[in-house]
Structure 1
Amino acid sequence: MSTLSLLDLGFFVAETEASPKHVAGLLICKTPPKAGPGFVKNLYREYLTFTDVKAPFNRVIRFSLKAMPHWEPAASIDLAQHIFYHRLPRGGNDRQALYDFVAKLHVPMLDRSRPLWALHVIDGLEGGRFALYQKVHHAYADGVTMARWTAQGLAATPDQLELTPVWSQRHSGHGERRKRASQELMHSLWKEVGGTTMRVLGVGRLAAMLLLESVRLTKNAIALPFVSTARTPLTGQVTPGRQFTTAAVAMERVDAIRARTRSTLNHVALTCLDGALRRYLQDQGVDLKRPITIQMPVNLRREGEKTAGNKIGIIQVELSPPTDDPYVRLRNIGFSLRNVRTMIDSVAPEGIESYTVITGLVAQLAELLKLSNTLPPMGNTLVSNVPGPKEHLYLRGARMEEMHPISTLPPSNLLNITLFSYAGQLYFGLIATDELPNLHRLGDYVQEAFTELEASVRDAHAP
């Protein structure tokens, strides 16, 4: 038996049919040159033979009046209930058709009576391609962990043909180790007291910073939650139905801007998103007079730590005040992110984790009471950054051309954006409710905003 962390438990408490709490990945692969027409169907059949399912993919959630919610090993696992094969029809197998199909797969909750994961093998894409859509409950792992596990199951060269599905791997952090009999009780108590103390001190420090910012004794030291403009198409009551789209920019172009402006990848990406979101909102008749506020997950793991589960915090970040100059926007966002970094470094991870739970609980309560259309949201959208492999990976000789994380929607946010770098490309993955109009246009605006930023930086640094 394994108990849940407070954050992992929160994903179950917050989960509804309108807002399921699973994360997913979409892998688009090119069939090997000499592969026969049955390559993808045979891959699906081979997946079904990997019946030795490792933790956490062999665990089910248990709720009881006699004990805290906890994980238990499943008595048996029928892979046919977790692994599925689909073939898209000719004429309905282009990129948009794939995105629409994956959006439908992303809608239903995972069945809590079984281990909380699924893999869909999607055959018949145009250009001799196929895709894998895999989803797991967020309580199993965060996006960074899931991307790492996925990469570990793929090969570095096309001639490495061994198949290693993610559920058959032994993942660090999930071994069921018994505590040593000689472990002293005082050591455990001291560790718990220390963690609680850091948590209380961290929350107290954050509360003080929020108070100073709210009464304007500091400026941009920390972004305030629940002050964003509520009436935009990006926010409101989360409803069932999903849509998905992407944008991509070559990392070579991103790195050129970074080198000329001494910026980070986050600075550049958020600058493009800020410009794209403002243009998208203007299409909908909304012209914000204040900075867009995003929610941004931060990794709370220490250097080299590879534990499973979730170890993240979510903080608010103000982007740029309104401006028509992309270079000025970049500088403003750089200033804002430096303040965020200072704030994170000054607060214990336990404090940020507790702050995440507290603010998330307030937002979730508003959603459960169906007040998200009237109360201010924590932010206008959520943006996360998941680093991926720098080189192409392979699956049974098939080159994985693209890899897109697909996340869940936080309370009161109708859009979630995930940045993912893979094999020389920076991908922007956009998942939204199907009520958000013209999501594909926002993807187009991201690429246009990047081109405009390139030109602005070139002009600013012209000799």
Structure 2
Amino acid sequence: MGQKLSFLDRSFWITETKANPKHVGCLQLLEMPEGSDPETYIKALHRDMQSFARASPPFNCRVKAFYIWPIGLQPVKHMHMDYHVQYHQVDVINERPALDDFVARMHETRLDPDKPLWQYHFLYSPGQRLFAIYARVHHLYGDGSTLVRWFQAGYQDAPQPDAFVPLWAVKRLRHRKRRQQFGRLKGYWLATKDAVLSAFDLAAIFIRLLLRLLRINRHYMPVPFTGTKTVLTGQVKPGRAVATFDLDFARIRKLARRTRASANEVLLTAIDIGMHRLLQDHGQLFTQALYTNMPINLRKPGEKTTGNRIAIVPVQLAHAESDPYLRLRQIIYHHRIVKHAAQRARPSAFSNYTIVIQACALVFEWLHISDWVKPIANVLVSNIPGPKRQKYFKDSKLLACYPISTMTPGGGVNVTIMTYNGTANVGLVCCNSKIKSLQPLAEYCREAFDMLEASIDDPTLSIDDIGEHTSELPLSIVSDH
């Protein structure tokens, strides 16, 4: 019997196109054991991984569909391991920009819909102990929280040359729902009650958004489709640009403590400054703030359900301040407005809100009119807690793991951060129809974080002109005007 899918899971299948595949991936850098011959080792590793042909759900499942409507996930009779596990000889392992470009070309193609929706690609260079894995899996299988939990189960705390089981073959326990104490009637009553209360919460969200649109209540979430158009937003087209870089997570946490901020808010500030510098390079000038989409994990603490349980809401970033610290205070203010709004509504209401606004964006994408409307946001930034200790893939040491996400309708840059072993591994991806490389953005974000960190002790530091113009005095709790 096939595994059931939620409406959000199904949406990733229904809306997938050649121009906008809906898989997520990661670029992993690994080091072979001491004394290994690179070519011999990688070929033996490839053969060994292909031998694990009995995959566990959902990695042994293809989508069972009625026309374009996915009914569920159905196990396949035979796994085509030559498709799912491949290896490639490349000349770019030690050249990060070239490796990012190679991964971008693989990331832009769709997974075969007639097979289970995942692949592992082993990349190696002759004579190099460093090698890479580019892994990708369809977003329909799960959100970032689910995929990272599976990822941690498929990697070990110590080298395991003989007893290693890869991610797709790991046995996972199925969580059965507890029966309601008073039977099905109570279950139906609780479900109906939750649906009614969620509908009231959803109506309240849209009423508050209307009040903000009418400028009666400015202290609420941004109104959807009022974002800033840039060269990166608009209709998503074939082709991808990918960049990866690292930040010391201990420095991020220290800076967050000193500024009474969260790690997310510190990272948002660095990315906001970096985005402005990149767009200024392409002649972009702005009279209002950029916006970010913020994923919210709707699971309860300790909940280990699969599939997608997230909401995605826009957050206004900073504007009209040249002091990096004051830009951080603006982002803290706007970020916490949205967090407060999320806490006042049921999780299911925020999930339904996400479905409504994303459905509108998808309709615009289907009609090829995304270039004509304002985007929901300019950048999607998600932060995923990863393993805190060193991990191993069989007997190879995992050095870094850079998540590479899918594109949201309306374009922009998708930034995903995974903390691993004390380091923030950052993956950037965008459509490359107008911007050919994101390597400058990676460098600008690093420089912005360094400047933000230094500005706490040196208030004279300021950002050079980054293309911002304001026609009125900014309304800000940190402004002296």
Name the amino acid aligned to 1:86. H
Deviation track 1:287-315 (CA, whole Å, cap 9, x = no partner) reads 21211111111100001101111100000
3-state SS of paired residue (2:63): strand
- Please say which of residues 180-189 and 266-275 is displaced more in the overlay: 180-189
Q: How does 1:351-430 map to 2 (within 5 A)?
A: 351-430=349-428
Q: 1:11: which partner in 2?
A: 12
Which residue is 1:273 aligned to?
271
Residue of structure 2 equivalent to 1:440: 439
* Counterpart in the other structure of 1:142: 143
Offset, 1:76:
2.0
The whole-number CA distance in structure 1 between the counterparts of 2:69 and 2:328 is 51
Alignment of 1:280-319 (within 5 A): 280-319=278-317
**Corresponding residue number in structure 1 for 2:324:** 326
Q: Hey, which bits of structure 1, 4+ residues long, moved more than 4 A?
A: 65-68, 177-183
Kindly tell me: are residues 452 and 129 of structure 1, through their superposed partners in 2, closer, same or farther at Cα, counting changes over 3 Å?
A: same
**8 Å CA contact 2:28, 2:134 repeated in 1:** yes
Question: Which residue is 2:466 aligned to?
Answer: none
Quick one: distance in 2 between partners of 1:164 and 1:21? 27
Is residue 2:130 matched to residue 1:129? Answer: yes
Give me the TM-score of the superposition, normalised by structure 2.
Answer: 0.90
**1:265, distance to aligned residue in structure 2 (A):** 0.4
- Measured in 2, the distance between the counterparts of 1:8 and 1:33 equals 43
Counterpart for residue 86 of structure 1: 88
Decide which moves more: 331-340 or 432-441: 432-441
Q: Which runs of 5+ in 1 are unaligned?
A: none
Q: Using the alignment, how far apart are the partners of 1:301 and 1:100 within structure 2?
A: 35
Asked whether the equivalents of residues 247 and 428 of structure 1 are also in contact (C-alpha less than 8 Å), the reply is yes
How big is the shift at 1:181? 12
Q: How far off is 1:67 after superposition? A: 8.8
Is this contact kept in 1: 2:228–2:289, CA < 8 A? no
Residue type matched to 1:395 in 2? F
Number of residues paired by the alignment?
Answer: 458
Determine if contact 1:241/1:434 at 8 Å carries over to the other structure: yes
SS for the counterpart of 2:453 is helix
Residue 257 (structure 1) aligns with: 255
Residue 57 of structure 2 is aligned to residue 55 of structure 1: yes
Q: AA paired with 1:270?
A: L
Q: 1:198 to 1:123 in 2, by over 3 A?
A: farther
Is 1:171–1:308's contact at 8 Å kept on the other side of the alignment?
no
The 10-residue stretch of structure 1 (430-439 or 137-146) with the greater mean CA deviation from structure 2: 430-439
TM-score (norm 1): 0.93
**Matching residue of 1:106:** 107
Distance in 2 between the 1:66 and 1:397 partners? 42
What is the match of residue 171 of structure 2?
A: 170
Q: Is the 8 A contact 1:297 1:315 kept in 2?
A: yes
- Counterpart for residue 35 of structure 2: 34
User: What is the rounded CA distance, in whole Å, between the counterparts of 1:181 and 1:432 in structure 2?
Assistant: 46
* Secondary structure, aligned partner of 1:139: helix
- Counterparts of 1:132 and 1:240 in 2: how far apart (Å)? 23
**Please, what is the CA RMSD of the aligned residues?**
2.3
- Aligned AA for 2:202? V
State the 1:161 CA deviation: 5.4
Moved more, 340-349 or 126-135: 126-135
Aligned AA (2:242): F
Mapped to 1, the partners of 2:208 and 2:181 lie a distance apart of: 43
Residue in 1 aligned with 2:196?
197
Change (3 A) 1:204 1:108: same
Secondary structure at the aligned position of 1:229 is classed as: coil
Superposed displacement of residue 461, structure 1: 12
> In the TM superposition, what is the alpha-carbon distance from 1:444 to its structure 2 partner?
0.7
1:48-71 alpha-carbon deviations (Å, 9 max, x no partner): 111221101111111227997222
- Counterpart AA for 1:245: A
Shift in CA distance, 125/217, structure 1 to aligned 2, threshold 3 Å: farther
Deviation at 1:448, TM superposition (A): 0.8
CA deviations on 1:428-453 (whole Å, 9 max, x unpaired) are: 21011122243111111001101110
* SS across alignment from 2:121: strand
- Distance in 2, Cα, partners of 1:245 & 1:64: 38
The CA deviation string for residues 369-403 of structure 1, in whole angstroms up to 9 with x for no partner, is: 11011111111121111111122211222211110
What is the CA distance between 1:283 and its match in structure 2? 1.1
Specify whether residues 87 and 68 from structure 1 end up closer, same or farther in structure 2 by C-alpha distance, changes over 3 A only.
Answer: closer
Match of 2:479 in 1: none
What is the CA deviation profile of residues 131-180 of structure 1, one whole-angstrom value per residue up to 9, with x for unaligned ones?
Answer: 1111111010112221221121111123675322111112355x6x6997
Taking the aligned partners of 1:46 and 1:270, their CA distance within structure 2 comes to 41
The counterpart of 1:431, out of the listed 429, 432, 435, is: 429
Alignment partners' CA distance in 1, 2:335 and 2:429: 24
Q: Helix, strand or coil: the match of 1:2? A: coil
Name the residue aligned to 2:74.
72
Q: Is the 8 A contact 2:380 2:413 kept in 1?
A: yes
Distance 1:20 1:146 in 2: 17
Q: Partners in 2 of 1:348 and 1:298 — Cα distance? A: 12
Could you tell me which runs of 5 or more consecutive residues in structure 2 were left unpaired when the two chains were aligned.
462-481
Secondary structure of 1:392's counterpart equals coil
Percent of residue pairs bearing the same amino acid type: 34
Cα distance in 1 for residues equivalent to 2:438 and 2:190: 47
**Cα 1:261–1:67 shift into 2, 3 Å:** closer
Distance in 2 (alpha carbons) for counterparts of 1:220 and 1:283: 33
Take 2:162 and 2:420, find their aligned partners in 1: how far apart are those partners?
21
Q: Secondary structure at the match of 2:198?
A: helix
The residue number in structure 2 matching 1:246 is 244
Distance 1:196 1:181, change over 3 A: closer
314-323 or 213-222: bigger deviation: 213-222
For residues 160 and 425 of structure 1, the distance between their equivalents in structure 2, rounded to whole angstroms, comes to 26
More moved, 312-321 vs 157-166: 157-166
3-state secondary structure, aligned to 1:333: helix
